[in-house]
Amino acid sequence: DHIFEKVNPEMEKLGFECKCLGGGKIEHNSKDKKIRVFGLSTGYGKADHSVTVEILKKVYTDYEITWSDDKK
């Protein structure tokens, strides 16, 4: 909620219409080159974490990136 509420007004200024499809958390371990996507937003529900992982893989090509429905 905090990130969407901050970013959405700036996106609207650029002419974009935004809708939050869900949320979660990202745990980034740069030392071990691992990223874990998990959890959900209390306000927006759970995002499709598989989509998030596919986006992250484009940038973090040498990382192990996983996702789960775990809350913690």
**Torsions phi, psi for 58 (to 5 deg):** -70, -30
Q: Give the span between the Cα atoms of 56 and 27, in whole angstroms.
A: 12
Q: Output the six-digit token pair for 67.
A: 């996702």
Q: Give the span between the Cα atoms of 40 and 38, in whole angstroms.
A: 7
| Domain residue ranges of the chain, discontinuous segments joined by + | 21-68
Q: Is 60 exposed, middle or buried (0-12, 13-18, 19+ CB in 10 A)?
A: middle
pLDDT for position 59: 97
Look up the CATH architecture of domain 21-68. Answer: 3-Layer(bba) Sandwich (3.50)
pLDDT for position 1: 62
pLDDT digits (tens, 9 = 90+) for 10-53: 999 999 999 999 999 999 999 999 999 999 998 899 999 999 99
0.95 exceeded by pTM = no
Q: Output the six-digit token pair for 32.
A: 């071990």
